[in-house]
C-alpha cells in the first residue's frame, strides 16, 4: 500500500507543478496585456495584483521542486548584492536595488 500511496503523491506533485507553470504563464500574459496599454494610475492595482501572483507562484513552484523558501530568498538577496556591486543599470539610473535591499532588510528585522 505504501508504494501505491507514494505513486499517487508523485502524480499529485507533478499535476500541481504543471498547474503552477500554467498559472505562471497566465499571469505573465496578463501582465503583458495590462502593460500594452501603458502604466497608468488606474491599473496600478491590477499590476500589483498580477506581480504578487507571479511572486507567490514562483515560491510555490520552487517548493514543489524541492527548493525551500529560505533558499529562494537567499538567492534573491545575493542577486541584489551582486547588482549593487556591479552597479547594474537599474541601480545606477534609479537606485532600485538599494531600495529593494533596504526593504528586504526591513522586512527581516520586522519579522524577528
pLDDT band at 2 (very low <50, low <70, confident <90, very high): low
Q: Which three cell numbers stand for residue 27?
A: 499571469
User: Over the stretch 41-93, which tens digit does the pLDDT of each residue have?
Assistant: 888 999 999 999 999 999 999 999 999 999 999 999 999 999 999 999 999 99
CA distance 111 to 103: 12
pLDDT of 42 reads 81
Residue 27 has pLDDT above 60, yes or no: yes
Question: Is 90 within 8 Å of 83 (Cβ atoms)?
Answer: yes
Give the CA distances from residue 70 to residues 75, 82, 105, in Å, rounded to whole numbers and listed in that order.
Answer: 9, 18, 14
- Cα of first residue to Cα of last residue in the chain, in angstroms, is 43
**pLDDT(32) > 70:** yes
Q: Which residue has the higher pLDDT, 7 or 4?
A: 7
Question: Has residue 40 got a pLDDT over 90?
Answer: no
Q: pTM score, two decimals?
A: 0.85
CB 83 within 8 A of CB 97: yes
DSSP conformation letters of 33-81? HHHHT---GGGHHHHHHHHHHHHHHHHHHHHHTT--HHHHHHHHHHHHH
Amino acid at each position: 500500500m505504501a508504494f501505491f500511496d507514494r505513486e499517487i503523491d508523485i502524480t499529485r506533485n507533478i499535476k500541481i507543478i504543471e498547474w503552477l507553470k500554467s498559472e505562471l504563464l497566465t499571469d505573465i500574459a496578463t501582465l503583458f496585456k495590462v502593460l500594452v496599454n501603458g502604466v497608468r494610475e488606474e491599473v496600478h492595482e491590477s499590476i500589483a495584483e498580477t506581480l504578487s501572483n507571479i511572486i507567490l507562484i514562483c515560491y510555490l513552484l520552487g517548493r514543489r521542486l524541492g527548493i525551500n523558501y529560505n533558499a529562494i530568498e537567499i538567492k534573491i538577496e545575493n542577486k541584489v548584492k551582486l547588482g549593487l556591486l556591479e552597479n547594474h543599470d537599474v541601480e545606477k539610473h534609479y537606485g532600485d536595488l538599494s531600495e529593494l535591499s533596504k526593504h528586504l532588510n526591513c522586512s527581516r528585522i520586522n519579522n524577528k
